[in-house]
Amino acid sequence: MSNNGGTVCNFVLPDIQPIFESESGCAYNAFYRETIHYILHEILSDPAITSLTGSNLELEDLQHIFHAFLPFTTLRKNRALPGEMSFFFLSKYRANAFKFFFEIISNWLVPDKRLNVSLIYAVDFRMMDLSDEIFTLCEIKIHIESQFEVDQILRNLPLLETELRLGIESGRYARRILEIKGLSTDEKTAIIQEDLAYLINYSPKEFDSDVLAEMQHVLVMCREEFKIARACRHLSRIIALHYLYRKWLREAVKTAPHRRHLNLKLFRACLNSSIGSRKVLAIVVGVNFFRDKEIFDKAHLLKAIQNYIPKVQDVESSFFANRRGSELICTLYLEVEKSDEKDFTYDEIQLLRARLPGDLKDCVECVMHPVFMPRNEEEIFRNILSLSNQIKYVRDIPQVFISFDEQTYTHLFYTVILVRVLKPDTLSIQEMFKNAHPSLKYIQDRCQVAGNLRGRYKKEATVFRIKLSKDQFLRFDHSIDLNKARQTVASELDRVIGEFRDFNGGIISKQNELLCEVKELLSNTSKFNDHFLDNFFYSLTPIIMRTLLEPEAVSTLFLMLLESIEQSKVDGKGCLKIEQKNNFVFAMVKAEDPLLKEEIARALAKFQLHSSELAASSVSVYDIIYLGYIYRTDEKEKQQNFSQALQTATGCLC
């Protein structure tokens, strides 16, 4: 910014027309023109201009100044102190340029002090002989109280000059500069409103005035600290995405009301605070629900991200969810950062963009009503009798019956019936459980004699409950893995009392053994999601096949499922895949039409296969059903007939 040294210039300005309207012939018009003439004379007499153009300015010189020098700023100060100092700017018209100039001059010339502004004059005008463009002229006069303030102003002015020129010329730079220097939330709201108004004008097909209502909803949900730490552009982006996702979801639900729709946006962001800036990853999600009892919140979103980047934590107070009334649509916002404060890499962000949309659809949790079912004592006595009858000899190991009892908000309860031969000096079950893992709590119910053995030994029946926290058994979709919880109870029993027979867990144990073998095989050949493999395995029917099938056969069908899903992502194809290996036929069908499953069932029913010959699976991925089949036969003709039947039923050739 130049210091006007009072150089005398000789020039005649073209006719000046203020933009504001006034009555023709009004006496004030001449006064307004005279004021503009005076201030323009002050600006154009600045040495920075006269040194290049000389003191005698012609019309061509003025045209050059108004096109090459603008925006231009200068100042004039009095010699006496305390006194006044005037700051001028001349520029092409830009909305709110004056407001930016005022903020910088009054707030930032002297750090930590708002200067006393004694005069403000700003006007928009044209000079028709010079140009059709609109120009803005401004004078701000501040009162200076000491030489110290003068020194501060003259020291800081050169540093602010570039910012002033950029901000006067560009609204985008003006907002960025003011944000860096600090804006109040009211000022930020005004800038956000400007941004959204621009979107409405720039893209009327996507945005309408409802986006301003969305702004109100979002800003009301956010704390003041949230708004202060985030730039206006950041907040505008959040609001625009929430508006678009809500609009798109409404349209998608009308088209396909029975499908889960989800939109996801990831972008890097920067938070500003008094201690510095920090880089975070911002996530905006829009999802529809099928019923009122469904829940999707921060815990679900954060857990899904941590499955791929374990060292991720949420930014405090960054989460909010926008779910209005009875509308089955929700938009969410969350920011995450790494616990080691490292930046998110490009590959990590791309991985989340590819995987999260499908994973998050499976994370929607459904709240279930608690079940009230008093325990059937008759069934307890019947099970005690059955277990007692299994013990024939003194050397027989304990017989155990484990059954799920109930769940509360935080815990699971299992009822355990244990019958054993009571030998001398044998500790009670309650005493033994004093050494149990702290995560399991033993709750005694009763202990009674269930019979005698050889007249010398008593059969002792102990009924008790095991209480354990359910957090460790929550699956990816927030369902509870009761099978895993039961395994935990059985394993702890084995550690506490020693070897026993799991009376009602034989098939469960066999299924777990097969599943573990399958996971072992796949660990050497493919990356897979444990939860997805569990869903696939427990979808196999008939149930007996979860114990009879060879691990290699289950692994092969699962790999075919993964290949079909990946192929569908790439080209949308993959209707039917068939592989014949030794004594098996493996088939994987992509069934976008739910009725296709029934059509295939009718086609295969004609073969009249035994339950141990055919295994079937059904898994839903991204709202598409994948049907898998394992046909066990070593006869080539039957294999060919089976393959042909599938091709005919699906209408696909493989």
Q: What is the pLDDT of residues 61-98, one digit of tens each?
A: 677 777 767 788 887 776 666 778 888 888 888 888 88
Where would I find the beta strands (DSSP E) of 244-328? 262-273, 276-288, 294-295, 312-314, 320-323
Which of 242-256, 372-386, 520-534, 615-629 comes out lowest in average pLDDT?
520-534
Give me 562's structure tokens.
């993964």
Looking only at the bridges linking them, the beta strands covering 131-144 and 83-92 are antiparallel
* Burial class, 570, CB count within 10 angstroms (exposed 0-12 / middle 13-18 / buried 19+): exposed
Q: Which of 210-214, 351-355, 370-374 shows the highest mean pLDDT?
A: 351-355
Looking only at the bridges linking them, the beta strands covering 457-469 and 411-422 are antiparallel
Where would I find the beta strands (DSSP E) of 515-592? 576-581, 584-591
Report pLDDT for 67: 72
Which string of DSSP letters, residue by residue, matches 88-145?
EEEEE--TTHHHHHHHHHHHHSSTT----EEEEEEEEEEETTTEEEEEEEEEEEEEE-
Query: How does the average pLDDT of the chain come out, rounded?
Result: 84
Q: Which of 121-135, 493-507, 524-538 shows the highest mean pLDDT?
A: 493-507
pTM: 0.59
Yes or no: say if 554 and 518 are a contact pair by the CB < 8 Å rule: yes
pLDDT above 70 as % of the chain: 89
Looking only at the bridges linking them, the beta strands covering 10-11 and 56-57 are parallel
Residue 10 has pLDDT above 70, yes or no: no
Q: Which of 20, 136, 157 is nearest to 70 (CA)?
A: 136
Report pLDDT for 27: 65
Instruction: Mention every residue, 6+ apart, whose C-beta is less than 8 A from residue 609.
Output: 631
- 521, amino acid identity: L
Report pLDDT for 448: 92
Report pLDDT for 574: 55
Residue 654 has pLDDT above 70, yes or no: no
* Burial class, 654, CB count within 10 angstroms (exposed 0-12 / middle 13-18 / buried 19+): middle
Q: How confident is the model at residue 629 (pLDDT cuts 50, 70, 90)?
A: very high
Residue 186 has pLDDT above 80, yes or no: no
Report pLDDT for 258: 84
Average pLDDT over residues 396-406: 92
Give me 188's structure tokens.
């930020």
Q: How confident is the model at residue 351 (pLDDT cuts 50, 70, 90)?
A: very high
Residue 336 has pLDDT above 90, yes or no: yes
Q: What is the pLDDT of residues 28-39, one digit of tens each?
A: 777 888 888 888
Element (H, E) at 476: none
What is the chain's Cα-based Rg? 39
Average pLDDT over residues 284-313: 90
Average pLDDT over residues 22-45: 75
DSSP letter (8 states) at residue 437: -
Report pLDDT for 8: 47
